[in-house]
């Protein structure tokens, strides 16, 4: 075992979560210390490939989203996001031998909840954003030696159609979202906020 301490902390934090909400903060702080960011040549390489991967996935997602919006408005586009977005990320994952995910601390689909490491990266990005620093994508290494690439996802104007204040959304859209995502946390965003992150795992690294 390369990182015994890490294993203990992860196991430990799983116990914390099980004990209830009051311990959540302790869990986050512990895990934060354990994201091992990489610098040097590996950072340069995986940042480059990671960016290539997410640029491709993002461009395809956006193109399809815009098309779905034009064809049938936001309600139709929600159905696209719900059924197709995951499939698309899967296709590209296969092509590049990566696992590509979009995760958020305020997720709409609970399947897009961050793991401990992703949650720590989101916290790091948020504090950089708060202090006015430019957020550069990050490369990290896990306990198995696999590399991960993390990049911020910001809100733009168009995103608010479905992630903004429900008062400004079409009532029909709100009711579709309500029924598909009873625990939707991805509302009430403004522009230029951190909506989430891209999380790319290089399976063969
Ligand atoms: C037409 C409505 C719609 C628009 C416009 C939209 N989204 Fe979403 N978004 C959704 C839905 C629905 C989901 C849940 C998809 C799923 O079930 O996996 C989602 C999920 C996400 C997720 C995954 C994390 C989560 O909350 O589950 C991210 C990140 C995200 N959207 C970012 C954006 C960004 C950035 C924009 C603007 C470029 C945007 N969205 C525009 C409807 C929309």
> Is residue 112 within 6 Å of ligand 1 at its C-beta?
yes
> Is residue 186 within 6 Å of ligand 1 at its C-beta?
yes
The pLDDT, as a whole number, for residue 166 is 96
Ligand 1 center from residue 24 Cα (angstroms): 26
> Is residue 88 within 6 Å of ligand 1 at its C-beta?
no
Among candidate residues 50, 12, 15, 18, the one with its CA nearest the CA of residue 30? 12
What residue owns the CA closest to ligand 1's atom 22?
102
Are the C-beta atoms of residues 198 and 54 closer than 8 Å to each other? yes
Would you give per-residue pLDDT tens digits along the chain (205 residues)? 344 443 333 333 333 333 333 444 444 444 455 789 999 999 999 999 999 888 888 888 888 888 888 998 998 888 777 666 666 667 666 776 888 889 999 999 999 999 999 999 999 999 999 999 889 999 999 999 999 999 999 999 999 999 999 999 999 999 999 999 999 999 999 999 999 999 999 998 8
Are the C-beta atoms of residues 117 and 186 closer than 8 Å to each other? no
Distance CA 65, CA 46 (A): 28
> Is residue 195 within 6 Å of ligand 1 at its C-beta?
yes
> Is residue 197 within 6 Å of ligand 1 at its C-beta?
no
Identify the H or E element spanning 121.
helix 116-130
**What crossing angle do the helices spanning 41-96 and 171-180 adopt, rounded to 10°?**
90
Distance CA 134, CA 20 (A): 35
Distance CA 138, CA 38 (A): 8
Give the number of other CB atoms < 10 A from CB of residue 152. 20
**pTM greater than 0.85 (yes/no):** no
Among candidate residues 63, 61, 65, the one with its CA nearest the CA of residue 76? 65
The pLDDT, as a whole number, for residue 194 is 97
The pLDDT, as a whole number, for residue 19 is 34
The pLDDT, as a whole number, for residue 66 is 87
């Amino acid at each position: 075992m390369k990182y015994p301490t890490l294993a203990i902390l992860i196991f430990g934090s799983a116990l914390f979560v099980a004990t209830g909400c009051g311990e959540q903060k302790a869990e986050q702080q512990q895990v934060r210390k354990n994201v091992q960011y990489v610098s040097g040549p590996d950072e340069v390489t995986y940042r480059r490939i990671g960016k290539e991967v997410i640029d491709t996935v993002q461009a395809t997602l956006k193109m399809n989203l815009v098309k779905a919006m034009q064809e049938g408005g936001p309600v139709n586009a929600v159905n696209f996001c719900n059924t197709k977005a995951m499939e698309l990320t899967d296709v590209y994952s296969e092509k590049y031998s990566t696992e590509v995910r979009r995760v958020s601390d305020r997720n709409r689909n609970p399947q897009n909840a961050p793991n401990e490491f992703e949650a720590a990266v989101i916290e790091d990005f948020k504090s950089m954003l708060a202090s006015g620093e430019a957020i550069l994508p990050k490369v990290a290494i896990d306990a198995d030696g696999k590399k991960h690439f993390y990049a911020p996802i910001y809100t733009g104007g168009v995103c608010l159609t479905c992630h903004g204040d429900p008062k400004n959304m079409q009532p029909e859209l709100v009711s579709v979202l309500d029924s598909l995502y009873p625990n939707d946390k991805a509302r009430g965003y403004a522009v230029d906020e951190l909506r989430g992150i891209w999380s790319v795992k290089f399976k063969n690294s």
